[in-house]
């Protein structure tokens, strides 16, 4: 086997909000991808988070790659006078986008793991580490945010090493070969990505490390091997991602494992079903910084974009037509959450000019999403205008719906449900390992919340800072609607994260929302007069003068039952004048729910209407009489 010494392929992995994108941003600047990195424009921060939703939510949703040519002192010291090319994959940190992480790991030869110096290893840290060890990738640990005033550098380093060894022991028991000696010698760096500094020497807690990223680049060159390849093997290239160009059409991002890929070359395209078709590479692009530049050829180890194959999808291979040797398909974990997505069937459907409202348009959009999202599944339902969409979690499905909403689609989204499977004749459901960080005074409240949702406490850790870390094993369906109630009970101070933890037998019924809904019993416009009269019955979710329809959820009833209300009632007109007739200061401002909060809030017999201009919660059965009949039918079935 030969090695390319002038190339490094690494993935940046971590739990959400531990600083991956900021670190990549600094690496780009200090490697000279944008010229002098001193005095840079603040608008270019987080250059890898290019999507609107990514910038709004402050998270990475899609795995992206960039490349820099490092020509600094560490490269010169090792004899690379022309520099070393470093391909960097920035992966999401949220567990719902785990498919992006798995895909990113298939492209690289090593992993740079970030861990927050105060929070330490969290569920997603365990997830990405496990995937890295299974792939037998070398690891560099970076303790980030060491300049936080609550940093626990020594403890977090110890926790991370313990996690590595624990995972290695678990995998060894499963038959996975893990080199324990190499894990004991994992390089550890201490960094402040925001300040652009990293050092192999631990600074004092709360202090910024000296210098810049020179030691980080040196460690990457030493600890991450160059790509291995067989000089005698034919072409083998794996499609790991997709992109699009307005001029070139679909672009396939491929990692070349063996051989050489040239512009204009005739190659064999091996599909998922094993069939082979000969195609021509019309354009070959290499990444430099954030730009793709034309190239004549690329070699083993390179990550390049290929144009000319309009229907190619993730996991397929490009091989030598005379000696085809396809690579294995990319496999991801099974989905855990499902949601029914269909056309908008409310009385207000089609009011938005230019909105996409037909079943064909919705299905085409879902099919396009399947091309680039390997962790998503779309299944038919009994209705021809609705489909069951399965994904890793609520957030991943909510992001898909939000993207479709911004593209002009009108939808009806059902309440999230768990995906079950039958094992040895028994129904099993997905479990989640949930980590909760809360102030000490909220510990009892959180424990009670989790107990109501069939959660089992695994551990309690008090770091002596006034905060407690609680770990639970809880059914995935117990976390549906948990976030809103959790933030309310902890007054917005709690932090909860979770990761898939396998399957267990069905845990029995779980009580959902304890409150009921205020449901409009007729169509019209909500009047302030009616809302003032009704606000003692509950809180509202709509603004005064909003158009409503029968069956729309307009508020929350503190009692655990639904209440049909007339929210369109107007004040009777008289010939008497009143000084307070038009005074509405007594109206309590309504709650405005986001899409994610609406999906969590919806009860089992409710769904969410999504349009480019509004998000409404409604009953699945709009007619009040039909709803009563259906409820009576369910009660009779339960008695029988």
Helix axes 443-452, 482-489, angle to 10 degrees: 160
The Cα–Cα gap between 527 and 131 comes to: 55
Asked if residue 20 belongs to a known ligand binding site, the reply is yes
Contact 450, 458 (CB under 8 A): no
Whole-angstrom distance, CA of residue 423 vs CA of residue 349: 42
Q: Are 244 and 216 in contact (CB under 8 A)?
A: no
432 sits in which H/E element: strand 426-439
As given in the structure block, the two tokens for residue 199 are 């050092």
21 is in an annotated binding site: yes
CB distance 219 to 211 below 8 Å: no
Q: Map tokens 């409240």 to a residue.
A: 445
Structure token digits, residue 634: 């369910």
Q: How far apart are CA 344 and CA 314, in angstroms?
A: 31
- Output the DSSP codes for 243-292: EEETTTEEEEEEEEEES-EETT-EEEEE-TTS-EEEEE--EEEEEEBTEE
At 637, which helix (H) or strand (E)?
helix 624-639
The residue count of the chain comes to 640
Pair type for strands 303-307 and 249-258: antiparallel
* Residue 314 neighbours by CB under 8 Å, 6+ apart: 103, 239, 240, 241, 242, 330, 371, 372, 374
- Helices and strands of the chain, counted as H and E runs: 15, 37
Nearest to 155 by CA among 171, 143, 145: 143
The single residue listed with the structure tokens 């996991």 is 315
Q: What is the 3-state secondary structure (H, E, C) of 148-190?
A: CCCCCHHHHHHHHHHHHHHHHHHHHHCCCCCCHHHHHCCCEEE
Residue 146 marked ligand-binding: yes
Q: Could you tell me what percentage of the chain is helix, strand and coil, using 3-state DSSP and rounding each to the nearest 5?
A: 25, 30, 40
Instruction: At 381, list the tokens.
Output: 């339902």
The alpha helices in 31-122, defined as continuous H runs, are 52-57, 73-77, 98-105
144 annotated to bind ligand: yes
Q: Are strands 417-418 and 426-439 parallel, antiparallel or unpaired?
A: unpaired
Q: Does the annotation place 22 within a ligand binding site? A: yes
Please name the helix (run of DSSP H) or strand (run of DSSP E) that holds residue 436, with its range, or none: strand 426-439
DSSP states of 185-222 as a string? T--EEEEETTTTEEESS---TTPPPSS-SHHHHHHHHH
Confirm or deny that 19 is annotated as ligand binding.
yes
- Closest Cα partner for 262 from 229, 233, 299? 299
Residue 311 assigned to a binding site: no
Of 518, 453, 533, 508, the residue nearest 485 (C-alpha): 453
Q: Tokens for 25, please give them.
A: 């941003």
Buried b (16+ CB within 10 A) or exposed e, 271-296: eeeeeeeebebebbbbbebbebeebe
Is 147 annotated for ligand binding?
yes
Residues making up the annotated binding site for GTP are 17-22, 144-147
Residues making up the annotated binding site are 17-22, 144-147
């Amino acid at each position: 086997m030969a090695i390319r010494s002038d190339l490094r392929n690494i993935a940046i992995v971590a739990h959400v909000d531990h600083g991956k994108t900021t670190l990549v941003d600094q690496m780009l600047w200090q490697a000279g991808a944008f010229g002098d990195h001193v005095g840079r424009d603040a608008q270019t921060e987080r250059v890898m988070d290019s999507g609107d939703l990514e910038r709004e939510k402050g998270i990475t949703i899609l795995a992206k790659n960039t490349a820099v040519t490092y020509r600094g002192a560490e490269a010169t010291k090792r004899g690379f006078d022309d520099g070393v090319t470093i391909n960097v994959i920035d992966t999401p940190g949220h567990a719902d986008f785990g498919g992006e992480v798995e895909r990113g790991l298939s492209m690289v030869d090593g992993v740079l793991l970030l861990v927050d110096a105060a929070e330490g290893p969290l569920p997603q840290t365990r997830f990405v580490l496990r995937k890295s060890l299974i792939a037998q990738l070398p690891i560099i640990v970076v303790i980030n945010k060491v300049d936080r005033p609550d940093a626990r550098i020594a403890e977090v380093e110890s926790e991370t090493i313990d996690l590595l060894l624990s995972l290695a022991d678990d995998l060894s028991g499963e038959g996975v070969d893990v080199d324990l000696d190499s894990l004991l010698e994992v390089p550890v760096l201490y960094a402040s990505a925001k300040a652009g500094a990293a050092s192999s020497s631990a600074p004092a807690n709360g202090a910024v490390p000296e210098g810049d990223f020179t030691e980080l680049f040196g460690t990457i060159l030493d600890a991450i091997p160059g790509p291995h390849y067989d000089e005698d093997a034919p072409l083998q290239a794996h499609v790991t991602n997709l992109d699009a160009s307005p001029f070139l059409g679909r672009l396939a991002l491929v990692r070349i494992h063996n051989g050489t890929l040239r512009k204009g070359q005739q190659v064999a395209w091996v599909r998922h079903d094993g069939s082979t078709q000969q195609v021509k590479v019309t354009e070959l692009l290499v990444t430099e910084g954030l730009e793709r530049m034309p190239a004549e050829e690329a070699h083993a180890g390179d990550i390049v974009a290929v144009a000319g194959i309009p229907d190619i999808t993730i996991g397929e291979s490009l091989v030598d037509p005379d000696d085809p040797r396809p690579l294995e398909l990319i496999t991801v974990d099974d989905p855990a959450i499902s949601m029914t997505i269909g056309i908008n069937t409310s009385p207000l459907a089609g009011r938005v000019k230019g909105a996409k409202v037909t079943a064909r348009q919705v299905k085409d959009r879902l099919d396009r999403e399947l091309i680039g999202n390997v962790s998503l599944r779309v299944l038919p339902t009994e209705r021809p205008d609705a489909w069951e969409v399965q994904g890793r979690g609520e957030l991943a499905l909510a992001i898909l719906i939000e993207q479709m909403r911004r593209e002009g689609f009108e939808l009806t989204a059902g309440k999230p449900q768990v995906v079950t499977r039958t094992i040895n004749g028994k129904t099993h459901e997905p479990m989640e390992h949930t980590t909760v960080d809360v102030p000490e005074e909220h510990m009892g409240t959180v424990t009670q919340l989790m107990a109501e949702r069939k959660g089992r406490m695994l551990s309690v850790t008090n770091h002596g800072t006034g905060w407690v870390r609680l770990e639970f094993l809880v059914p995935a369906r117990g976390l549906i609607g948990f976030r809103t109630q959790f933030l309310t009970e902890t007054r917005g101070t709690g932090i909860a994260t979770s990761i898939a933890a396998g399957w267990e037998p069905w845990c029995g019924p779980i009580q959902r929302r304890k409150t009921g809904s205020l449901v409009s019993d007729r169509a019209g416009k909500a009047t302030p007069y009616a809302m003032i009269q009704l606000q003692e019955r509950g809180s509202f979710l709509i603004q005064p003068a909003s158009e409503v329809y029968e069956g729309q959820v307009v508020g929350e009833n503190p009692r655990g039952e639904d209440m049909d209300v007339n929210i369109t009632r107007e004040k009777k007109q008289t010939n008497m004048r009143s000084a307070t007739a038009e005074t509405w200061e007594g109206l309590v401002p309504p709650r405005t729910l986001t899409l994610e909060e609406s999906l969590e809030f919806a009860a089992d017999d409710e769904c969410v209407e999504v349009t480019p201009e509004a998000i409404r919660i409604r009953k699945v059965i709009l007619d009040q009489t039909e709803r009563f009949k259906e409820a009576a039918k369910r009660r009779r079935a339960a008695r029988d």
